[in-house]
A and B are shown apart, each in its own frame.
Chain A
Amino acid sequence: MTTTATVKEFRLPDLGEGLTESEIVQWHVAEGDTVELNQVIADVETAKAVVELPSPYAGVVVRLHEAAGTVVDVGAPIVSFAVAGEPEVAPVPSAGEERPAKREPNLVGYGAAVEKGGRPQRRSRLLSAARPAGAPPVPARRERPRSTPPVRKLARDLGIPLDGLAGTGPGALITRADVLAALAGTAGSPVAAPTEGVVPPVRQAARSAAGETRTPIRGVRKHTAAAMVASAFTAPHVTEFLTLDVTPTMDLLAELKQSRAFEGTRITLLALVAKAVCIAVARNPSLNSSWDEEAQEIVQYADVNLGIAAATPRGLLVPNIKAAQALALVELARSLGSLAETARAGKTPPTDLAGGTISITNIGVFGIDAGTPILNPGEAAILAVGAVRSMPWEYQGAVALRSVLTLSLSFDHRLVDGEQGSRFLADVGTILRNPAMVLAMV
């Protein structure tokens, strides 16, 4: 009979169900202390609870492997005991010799933690020669940034990598606001910095021979694409065109620019079109509505949240002016000015991007006459404003050079019949042909 003590290692068990790590909050024993069976030796905090760890042995603490405050993987040794009077008995080789010889009795909950001495590797189905010799080892597992599934989805959709973000939520959780803030922040730089260097080098090398540049689809481009696809293939689009003589509107515009009321405000044709749209919407409300597929309801909006498609360095954005119908022309003009400026600076707040009800896209600035715009998702109509051209046009029975432009209106045919769409477009046309007609319309 020997009295030599055996050293027993205690590995951190899975204290909850399926936990991989826990934090040692506090040790209640020190090295050299004698402990009894089930004496509380530490407080450990898991993802679920703070629990007390009872000693699995009666003996002397010979080593605390981890300090208080350390986060320890399940299965890692945390404390060693010298257990007296118990000569180490070789485990009964009941199940054959393929078992690890030195198996501690702690069996439960080690999950996927890798045991020292090499967990058996599954034999590869491929010949080992197929693997490059000296292949780099699998990178160490990094904790993925803490967030929630919907926010991860949002970040993925917007192309914002969570790795670089500092979470402001509880426990440094990355919140929706953090992602949106990052979106607004990255927009400021004219170069889409996050996309640089993310291109898989192998693929780039393989393709460069073909004279192509391949850019990962992400960020606003990806978002835009998803929105466009969703819109184009859910809402049946109809596009109507109207080409008209807007010389009186251009005359009015010139007059307004001289007006004291608009001093310091940049008044543009777009502002007048926006005003005309608001007036026409009041007469044709179905253009300012939405199709709620999920609820099987048509949503009729009281406010006109007028979206303006803006080309920004990051791509297409459609910020909107809330309750545009309530704004006087001068306010509308100012809002348009600041909206475009903010969008180009990449500082559009998320609230300005959400909740639009109808949109205008100004393709005229590119010298284009007409097109078939795709609806901003969830909206019933979008109006494309073409370039104003000096063209020979019938005027008072003769051909004259007049200011002519083309309006292109796409609408969701589920919500808007041809009649309503046509009346709306005609109303806008009537106002732009002769702004004084507003007197008869409102």
Chain B
Amino acid sequence: MTQDGSLPGPGRTDTVGTAEQASGTVHPGPSRPDADELVQLIDPAGVRHPHGHYDRLVADVDGPALQRLYEDMVVVRRIDAEATALQRQGELALWPPLLGQEAAQIGSGRALRSDDFVFSSYRENAVAYCRGVDLADILRVWRGNASSGWDPYTINMATPQVIIGAQTLHATGYAMGILNDGADAVAVAYFGDGATSQGDVNEAMVFAASYQAPVVFFCQNNHWAISEPVGLQAHVPIARRAPGFGIPSVRVDGNDVLACLAVTREALARARSGGGPTFIEAVTYRMGPHTTADDPTRYRDANELEDWAARDPLARLATLLDSLGLLEADYTDSVRAKADAVAAELREGCLSMPEPAPSDVFKHVYSSPNSWLDRQQDHYERYLASFAQAPQEGPR
């Protein structure tokens, strides 16, 4: 490696300015991938491979930037593990783990500008982390403590959508609003392979293509729609569906954080420059259960998990960093300390969350007073009061 900690490889010899690339002007080269090619810049063994088209898009990612991506992935994996433990300890009702999908979420999440707007499903906790969410806010809904975790406008990310695929419509609608405003922000929809079977997702793509709306469809193909393998719902690569709507698509190794960053940057740049929507299929793997209430060993082969463990997104970047001399003890110690601190903050935030009052359920139904709701609240409060007056057990 070089003394300044930057990466060797084709990116260093590229004459195109990196700042320009990062902000978004794209020069489609002759080597654009076809729809079935899996874009990969770091292979599972941690080897950086040159790419004729995408190297330019990550030319600014030097050693320290790679280290930051690695730290992000370690931290979100730790957030995920801590939240899973909190569920097992009875502090959360449910948790949807993202284990294995860190690169897809961090790579894409770190490509976004702060005025871009994210519409995600319930598993994009690493994206929320990139958006700067308060850690406890991620847990609020899963603790049954609030109807939603955060104010979407403070971090420009809608609260997670549980209805499969519905957020793609919101994203397309928001993107059409961006067009009307004449802004250059982008709406990004996150969803899974199973969601592509939903009507909503297909409708969202029709409208996005019709209006050439600045929206990126980021599909994490994690291979399992709960217990349904992706092959049942998609007989061809999912990325091939989008061209049918007139939307360019790309398949990317979803466990390669650098490649995910590259393809997302390209899609964002296209959207900002009036090029319309892009569909990204990030091929990754859900290494954990669908949620903490699920037992994946009942429907999937242990060998499959082993195969994907060998393609772990963190391990490959660690290997690459090590080969570049960027995985020294002081660095890894600082990453570990950061993860520990974040986990402690998350736990503390969860346990100290004030419980809502029973009548809070009426608070956010209408923005203005509603007499019918007031009546219901009155009835409910009197009902609750009846408990306090309940007679003690035994004859009186």
Residues of chain A touching chain B, judged by Cβ–Cβ distance below 8 Å, are: 10-17, 38, 48-56, 94-95, 98, 105-110, 118, 120-124, 128, 133-134
Enumerate 27 A-B pairs (CB-CB under 8 Å) in ascending A order.
A13-B88, A13-B89, A13-B90, A14-B90, A15-B88, A15-B293, A17-B93, A48-B294, A49-B289, A53-B88, A53-B89, A54-B88, A54-B89, A55-B89, A56-B89, A106-B90, A108-B93, A108-B143, A108-B144, A109-B90, A120-B388, A121-B387, A121-B390, A121-B393, A122-B387, A123-B390, A124-B391
Chain B contacts for A38, CB-based, 8 A: 81-82, 85
Please measure, in the bound complex, the distance between the C-alpha atom of A10 and the C-alpha atom of B88, giving whole angstroms: 11
Shortest beta-carbon contacts, A-B, top 3:
A13-B90, A49-B295, A106-B90
Please measure, in the bound complex, the distance between the C-alpha atom of A20 and the C-alpha atom of B77, giving whole angstroms: 30
Partner of B91, one of A51, A98, A105, A122: A105
B355 touches A107 (CB 8 A): yes
Chain B contacts for A16, CB-based, 8 A: 292-293
B90 touches A54 (CB 8 A): no
Known: A49-B289, A50-B295, A105-B351. A121 touches B93 (CB 8 A): no
Please measure, in the bound complex, the distance between the C-alpha atom of A13 and the C-alpha atom of B94, giving whole angstroms: 11
Please measure, in the bound complex, the distance between the C-alpha atom of A106 and the C-alpha atom of B143, giving whole angstroms: 10
- Convert B362-390 into 0s and 1s, putting 1 for each residue whose CB lies closer than 8 angstroms to a CB of A: 00000000000000000000000011111
Please measure, in the bound complex, the distance between the C-alpha atom of A92 and the C-alpha atom of B347, giving whole angstroms: 18
Chain B contacts for A48, CB-based, 8 A: 293-295
Q: Does B259 contact A (CB under 8 A)?
A: no
Residue in B closest to A121 when the chains form the complex, CB atoms: B390
- Besides A15-B88, A108-B144, A123-B387, 15 other A-B contacts (C-beta < 8 A): A13-B87, A13-B89, A15-B87, A49-B298, A51-B88, A53-B88, A56-B90, A56-B91, A94-B354, A105-B351, A107-B355, A120-B388, A122-B386, A122-B390, A128-B396
Please measure, in the bound complex, the distance between the C-alpha atom of A118 and the C-alpha atom of B390, giving whole angstroms: 11
**Which one of B88, B294, B351 has the greatest number of beta carbons of chain A within 10 Å?**
B88
CB B291 to nearest CB in A, in angstroms, measures 8
Known: A120-B387, A121-B387. A134 touches B93 (CB 8 A): no
- Convert B224-242 into 0s and 1s, putting 1 for each residue whose CB lies closer than 8 angstroms to a CB of A: 0000000000000000000
Per DSSP, chain B at the interface is loop
CB A52 to nearest CB in B, in angstroms, measures 7
**Which one of B82, B293, B298 has the greatest number of beta carbons of chain A within 10 Å?**
B293
B395 touches A10 (CB 8 A): no
B91 touches A10 (CB 8 A): no
Please measure, in the bound complex, the distance between the C-alpha atom of A308 and the C-alpha atom of B387, giving whole angstroms: 63
Please measure, in the bound complex, the distance between the C-alpha atom of A124 and the C-alpha atom of B387, giving whole angstroms: 10
CB A37 to nearest CB in B, in angstroms, measures 8
Partner of B390, one of A51, A106, A120: A120
Residue in B closest to A19 when the chains form the complex, CB atoms: B293
Chain A contacts for B387, CB-based, 8 A: 120-123
Residue in A closest to B383 when the chains form the complex, CB atoms: A122
Residue in B closest to A104 when the chains form the complex, CB atoms: B90
Known: A105-B351, A120-B390. A17 touches B94 (CB 8 A): yes
A108 touches B91 (CB 8 A): yes
Known: A51-B88, A108-B144, A121-B393. A14 touches B93 (CB 8 A): yes
B88 touches A107 (CB 8 A): no
Please measure, in the bound complex, the distance between the C-alpha atom of A53 and the C-alpha atom of B84, giving whole angstroms: 10
Known: A120-B387, A123-B391, A128-B391. A17 touches B143 (CB 8 A): no
Please measure, in the bound complex, the distance between the C-alpha atom of A122 and the C-alpha atom of B384, giving whole angstroms: 9
Chain B contacts for A123, CB-based, 8 A: 386-387, 389-391
Chain B contacts for A118, CB-based, 8 A: 393
Cβ-Cβ contact count across A and B, 8 Å cutoff: 87
Residues of chain B touching chain A, judged by Cβ–Cβ distance below 8 Å, are: 81-82, 85, 87-94, 143-144, 289, 292-295, 297-298, 351, 354-355, 357, 386-391, 393, 395-396
A49 touches B294 (CB 8 A): yes
Chain B contacts for A10, CB-based, 8 A: 89
Please measure, in the bound complex, the distance between the C-alpha atom of A203 and the C-alpha atom of B56, giving whole angstroms: 88
CB A3 to nearest CB in B, in angstroms, measures 22
Residue in B closest to A57 when the chains form the complex, CB atoms: B89
CB A27 to nearest CB in B, in angstroms, measures 15
A121 touches B91 (CB 8 A): no
B391 touches A121 (CB 8 A): yes
Chain A contacts for B91, CB-based, 8 A: 13, 56, 105-108
Residue in B closest to A39 when the chains form the complex, CB atoms: B85
Please measure, in the bound complex, the distance between the C-alpha atom of A49 and the C-alpha atom of B88, giving whole angstroms: 12
Known: A48-B294, A51-B292. A108 touches B386 (CB 8 A): no
CB B314 to nearest CB in A, in angstroms, measures 19
Please measure, in the bound complex, the distance between the C-alpha atom of A95 and the C-alpha atom of B354, giving whole angstroms: 9
B93 touches A109 (CB 8 A): yes
Chain B contacts for A51, CB-based, 8 A: 88, 292
Please measure, in the bound complex, the distance between the C-alpha atom of A110 and the C-alpha atom of B89, giving whole angstroms: 12
Chain A contacts for B295, CB-based, 8 A: 48-50
Please measure, in the bound complex, the distance between the C-alpha atom of A53 and the C-alpha atom of B355, giving whole angstroms: 25
Please measure, in the bound complex, the distance between the C-alpha atom of A122 and the C-alpha atom of B390, giving whole angstroms: 6
CB B248 to nearest CB in A, in angstroms, measures 40
Please measure, in the bound complex, the distance between the C-alpha atom of A56 and the C-alpha atom of B91, giving whole angstroms: 9
Please measure, in the bound complex, the distance between the C-alpha atom of A146 and the C-alpha atom of B351, giving whole angstroms: 38
**Which one of A12, A13, A54, A108 has the greatest number of beta carbons of chain B within 10 Å?**
A108
Chain A contacts for B396, CB-based, 8 A: 128
CB A45 to nearest CB in B, in angstroms, measures 10
A134 touches B289 (CB 8 A): no
A133 touches B289 (CB 8 A): no
Residue in B closest to A119 when the chains form the complex, CB atoms: B387
Residue in A closest to B395 when the chains form the complex, CB atoms: A133
Please measure, in the bound complex, the distance between the C-alpha atom of A105 and the C-alpha atom of B81, giving whole angstroms: 19
Chain A contacts for B389, CB-based, 8 A: 123
Please measure, in the bound complex, the distance between the C-alpha atom of A295 and the C-alpha atom of B390, giving whole angstroms: 56
Known: A38-B82, A95-B355, A108-B90. A134 touches B395 (CB 8 A): yes
Please measure, in the bound complex, the distance between the C-alpha atom of A56 and the C-alpha atom of B85, giving whole angstroms: 8
Please measure, in the bound complex, the distance between the C-alpha atom of A134 and the C-alpha atom of B393, giving whole angstroms: 11
Chain B contacts for A94, CB-based, 8 A: 354
Chain B contacts for A134, CB-based, 8 A: 395
Chain A contacts for B143, CB-based, 8 A: 107-108
CB A112 to nearest CB in B, in angstroms, measures 15
**Which one of B82, B93, B294, B351 has the greatest number of beta carbons of chain A within 10 Å?**
B93
Please measure, in the bound complex, the distance between the C-alpha atom of A134 and the C-alpha atom of B144, giving whole angstroms: 40
Partner of A98, one of B81, B88, B351, B388: B388
**Which one of B81, B87, B89, B295 has the greatest number of beta carbons of chain A within 10 Å?**
B89
Residue in A closest to B343 when the chains form the complex, CB atoms: A38
Chain A contacts for B92, CB-based, 8 A: 108
Please measure, in the bound complex, the distance between the C-alpha atom of A49 and the C-alpha atom of B299, giving whole angstroms: 12
Please measure, in the bound complex, the distance between the C-alpha atom of A38 and the C-alpha atom of B81, giving whole angstroms: 9
Chain A contacts for B393, CB-based, 8 A: 118, 121
Chain B contacts for A122, CB-based, 8 A: 386-387, 390
Chain B contacts for A95, CB-based, 8 A: 355, 357
Chain B contacts for A108, CB-based, 8 A: 90-93, 143-144
Chain A contacts for B355, CB-based, 8 A: 95, 107
Please measure, in the bound complex, the distance between the C-alpha atom of A110 and the C-alpha atom of B387, giving whole angstroms: 19
Chain B contacts for A52, CB-based, 8 A: 88
CB B287 to nearest CB in A, in angstroms, measures 15
